[in-house]
Amino acid sequence: MLFYGTELASPLMLGTAQYPSPEILADSVRAADAGLVTVSLRRESAGARAGQAFWSLIRDLGTPVLPNTAGCHTVKEAVTTAHMAREVFETDWVKLEVIGESDTLQPDVFGLVEAARILSSEGFKVFPYTTEDLVVAERLLAAGCEVLMPWGAPIGSGKGLNNVFGLRALRAHFPDVPLVVDAGIGLPSHATQALELGYDAVLINTAVAKAGDPVAMARAFRLAVEAGRLARIADPMEARDMAAPSTPLLGKPALS
């Protein structure tokens, strides 16, 4: 699947926050064989030595970068952050977040659509962090987005895919739109499930960064997305309500 005309090497997108050390972050990105990494502008303090070192580390990895507007709660804040990110990271790709509720970090979908419209008109390639709502999805596509990033569950919760019905409906309604499950994935099995549903990628951060062994967990997620993608391509069987014998009855001996 192409994301704004670009094919990623892997359906696994990896966040870069909360790792125990820069070395573990770098090793985790390599172990995940990530298709891209997300980076918050807030990690880059203008002129700060720590920020410059972090950006140098990310560049040295050679993995495509998707800046995000994490922590923004208003349209103005998100748009301004996107403009700054474009200058710092030298890309017009941006993961757009406009947070509307502090406890769940649920997107403000009204502000999200407005910010997406503004940024798209200014040449940004917007990856919106959204809900699985079909109407919101329509509005975002009309605003210029060519990718949708619905949440699986609240950010950092690790609950997996809370609304499988909604995510499946989104995939069915927009078969040609690149879809990424973003937020809430806690286990490799959750990532496999998302790919099996037909999603094109998953974005993981906390589940890897906060694992006891982030590098091993990154490797596990790499294998999980590969399994999910292959299972989808293989055209899995339909679920049944009743049992069906796996051994054919034809030729069964008649015992008397």
Residues serving a catalytic function are 95
> Is 183 marked within a binding site?
yes
> Is 205 marked within a binding site?
yes
> Is 160 marked within a binding site?
no
> Is 228 marked within a binding site?
no
Token pair for residue 14?
């990896």
> Is 47 marked within a binding site?
no
Binding residues for 1-deoxy-D-xylulose 5-phosphate, by number, are 156, 183-184, 205-206
